[in-house]
Structure 1
Amino acid sequence: MTTTGQPGITGNVLFYSQPEPLSPEMHGKMGVKNMDGPFGFAKVGHAVPLTVGEFPAASSTGPIIFVGDEKLPISVMGLNAGENMFLQADGLFQPGVYIPAYVRRYPFIFANDDAAKQMVLCIDRAAEFIVESGYDMPFFETDGQPSQYTKNCIEFCNNFELERQRTANFVQILKDLDLLETKTASFTPMNADGTAGEPQKIADYFGVSEEKLAKLPVEKYIELRDNGALPQIHAHLTSLLGWDRLVAITLARQMQAPQAANA
């Protein structure tokens, strides 16, 4: 890891709008101020990346699905793009909601420096709690060395990268065993007369096939048990019941909206 000036992150990274390498030259007199509601940035996170070790804790909040060509796991936190239904207006998550490590890592992130073949620690300079004065936790000490706060964040990011690699290995296991299949989440709305309406599709995604899992050779099933993948698979499957929860919350809020407008 390095904190010297290097090229910033390229491409689109969820939540990070102005990433730049952390360095004492650029950020020696900056720091982070405490906020009562520090997660306001996550309001656009309806689908947040998740690491495999988080599956059990995250499964009670909402669906854990796999997306894209790489089949990366995400935590579904809203049915509408750009709307995290679990984040309150005060910048705090609803009580009992699991907050993914991806969110807790912000505003720090590692970026690859291909030329130097190393990881560069970056921050999102646009984060509202990064300030040039009145901060509670500086990024650097007066001698230019990382502060204890920054050291703790570096350790968190290092652990996150390790978990990210574990996640990639877990997904590769699912691919090698051909356990993933295309799934569709849908719900059936009720008409005004109480009859069932036309089913509506919510999302297409990848998930573990319970049929394929049940048909695995015994030795492969035991292998999944012994390498710790089986509990994570079960957590993923259990989490899919969360689609109903998201639909129920969304419908309840839609019904409350007209009442609030007429109040």
Structure 2
Amino acid sequence: MDVTPAPVNGEISGNVLFYTKPEPLSRDLHGKLGVKGVEGPFAFASKAHAVPLTVGEFQLAAVTGPIIFVGDEKLPIAVMGLRADENIFLKPDGSFEAGIYVPAYIRRYPFVFANDDQNGQMVLCIDRASSLIVEGGEAAFFDEKGEPTDYTKTCIEFCNNYEMERQRTANFVQLLRALDLFEPKVANFQGMNPDGTLSEPQKIADYFGVSEEKLGKLSPQQLVELRDNGALPQIYAHLQSLVGWDRLVALAMAKDTLAQAQAQSPSPANA
């Protein structure tokens, strides 16, 4: 894998969340560009209600919300909202609420490695459409000699580490598949009626998760294998994270109540 800025050659493939105009980082095209400093750097993630997660992040992300697996590939994601296009943990100013774990997938932006199919390699790209990238930005991509700055080298290292974690995550998922530990799951919410009785359950999401029943039926040797390769703590982190569905529901209801109260309150001009 290339870990240096690549020239513009070959065709970049891949459709990646957040990145609308990926371009291979080039001193010829981007020599005067950099990333500007902003108080709310994560505004681009305001509509990200589900964000890819690597297995090494499970234990940190579990305290924030549910970690689930989706699609045929059983991609692990961090659930960050109940509604499409709404990240419930992101404040209007583009910063995250205190104590929220921010996935590495978000933190690497606007950098990303992408496939260069023509040359059979990975190249470092930037999202040229990002509002964070400007001419003369505080964190320049290249120095006066046209060499990558320390900032760019750090970002390259971060993205390279992310790709290695992504592969480790694929191996983790494959291990769970091999042990047949996945099962379809449904997240439901059951509220209260005005008279105090329980309302009808409402389905929040369909997803895949680890079956506790199947996990309990593994042989001692299989459990030791999961323990020794570090998979068992990550499985438990995933299972523990699922209690976070209730937290998301409570946050969504509180947000809706606040919005309704604000909409009904008179404006200062009419008070």
TM-score (norm 2): 0.94
Where in structure 2 are there 5+ consecutive unaligned residues?
A: 266-271
SS of the residue corresponding to residue 89 of structure 1 reads coil
Structure 1 residues 109 and 8 mapped into 2: Cα distance closer, same or farther (>3 Å)?
farther
8 Å contact 2:66–2:78 — kept in the other structure? Answer: yes
CA–CA distance in structure 2, aligned partners of residues 149 and 207 of structure 1: 38
- Map Cα deviations across residues 3-41 of structure 1 (whole Å, 9 max, x no partner): 210356444311111111110111001111111110000
Compute the displacement of 1:206 (Å).
0.4
In the alignment, which residue of structure 2 is the partner of 1:156?
158
Is the Cα–Cα contact under 8 Å of residues 13 and 117 in structure 2 kept in the other structure? no
- Across the aligned residues of Structure 1 and Structure 2, the Cα RMSD in angstroms comes to 1.1
Q: Which amino acid aligns with 1:32?
A: V
Unaligned runs of 5+ in 1: none
Contact kept? 2:10, 2:118, Cα under 8 Å: no
Distance in 1, matches of 2:248 and 2:122, equals 37
| Contact 1:15/1:42 (<8 A) preserved | yes
Match of 1:182 among 178, 181, 184: 184
Structure 1 stretches of 4+ moved >4 Å: none
Q: Letter of the aligned partner of 1:78 in structure 2? A: G
Equivalent residue for 1:46? 49
Aligned pair partner of 1:246 in 223, 245, 248: 248
User: Identity across aligned pairs (percent)?
Assistant: 65
Change (3 A) 1:48 1:9: farther
Normalising by structure 1, report the TM-score. 0.97
Are 1:8 and 1:19, in contact at CA under 8 Å, matched by a contact in 2?
A: no
Identify the residue that residue 108 of structure 1 maps to in structure 2: 111
Aligned residues: 262
Query: Is the Cα contact below 8 Å between 1:108 and 1:124 reproduced in 2?
Result: yes
Equivalent residue in structure 1 for 2:170, among 165, 168, 171: 168
Shift of 1:192: 2.4
1:119-164 deviation per Cα after TM superposition (whole angstroms, max 9, x unaligned) = 110001111110013x111101122211111000000000000000
Deviation at 1:189, TM superposition (A): 2.2
SS of aligned partner of 1:186: strand
In structure 2, relative to structure 1, the CA distance for the partners of 1:27 and 1:179 (3 Å cut) is: same
Alignment correspondent of 1:87: 90
AA aligned to 2:181 is L
Q: Give the aligned partner of residue 229 of structure 1.
A: 231
Which string of whole-angstrom CA distances, capped at 9 and with x for unpartnered residues, describes residues 203-261 of structure 1? 00000000000000110011001111000000000000000000111111122221111
| Residues 8 and 138 (structure 1), Cα distance of their counterparts in 2 relative to 1, 3 Å cut | farther
Equivalent position of 1:5 in the other structure: 8
User: What is the alpha-carbon distance in structure 2 between the residues aligned to residue 259 and residue 142 of structure 1?
Assistant: 54
Tell me which amino acid in the other structure corresponds to 1:17: T
Q: Counterpart of 2:264?
A: 262
Aligned residue for 2:46, secondary structure, equals helix
